[in-house]
């Protein structure tokens, strides 16, 4: 067996309308299809496949994502362009929409901004750095992380 690609992510959310607005309106994903699971849910796609993100509402009393070191999801990454100019535009859009950027890193192979969704799930919004050939030098993937200067 061999995994071919990451297909989709499913997140439990407290408030579907709030999370759907974040992923749809702020991050710009398209609604994938009308969900009729018999529960409050929303699916989103970038157009690559039928859905890449499914949100399922579990209510306001759901436990929060614990801070710090823990088991489970740390973050997931979303490619948002091909250049620092595009990443700067993403940064400016996030600031304009009131999203707090919780980190910014130069990973040599990627330039990344980190944000939290309304339920505290961390997302990495990144571009692959043009001209960096990590396939020829896989050590670049584990290069020391530096502060990102956009």
Determine contact, residues 38/86, Cβ cutoff 8 Å. no
pLDDT tens by residue, the chain, 150 residues: 999 999 999 999 999 999 999 999 999 999 998 767 788 999 999 999 999 999 999 999 999 888 889 999 999 999 999 999 999 999 999 999 999 999 999 999 999 999 999 999 999 999 999 999 999 999 999 999 999 999
- Provide the CATH number for the domain formed by 1-60 in this structure: 3.10.180.10
Q: Return the pLDDT at 33.
A: 80
**C-alpha distances in Å from residue 61, one per residue of 13, 58, 121:** 10, 8, 16
CATH match of 75-150 with 3.10.310.70: no
Q: Are 150 and 112 in contact (CB under 8 A)?
A: no
Enumerate the CATH 3.10.180.10 domain ranges in the chain, comma separated.
Answer: 1-60, 75-150
- Enter the DSSP assignment of 38: S
What pLDDT, on a 0 to 100 scale, did the predictor assign at position 62? 94
């Amino acid at each position: 067996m061999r995994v071919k690609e990451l297909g989709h992510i499913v997140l439990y959310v407290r408030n579907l309308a709030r999370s759907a607005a974040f992923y749809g309106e702020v991050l710009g994903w398209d609604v994938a299809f009308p969900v009729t699971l018999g529960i409050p849910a929303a699916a989103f796609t970038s157009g690559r496949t039928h859905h890449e993100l499914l949100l399922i509402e579990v209510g306001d009393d759901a436990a929060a994502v614990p801070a710090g070191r823990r088991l489970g999801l740390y973050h997931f990454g979303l490619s948002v362009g091909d250049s620092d100019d595009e990443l700067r535009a993403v940064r400016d859009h996030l600031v304009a929409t009131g999203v707090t950027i919780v980190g910014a890193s130069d990973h040599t192979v990627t330039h990344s901004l980190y944000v939290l969704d309304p339920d505290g799930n961390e997302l990495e919004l990144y571009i692959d750095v043009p001209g960096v050939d990590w396939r020829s030098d896989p050590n670049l993937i584990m290069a020391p992380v530096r502060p990102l200067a956009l």
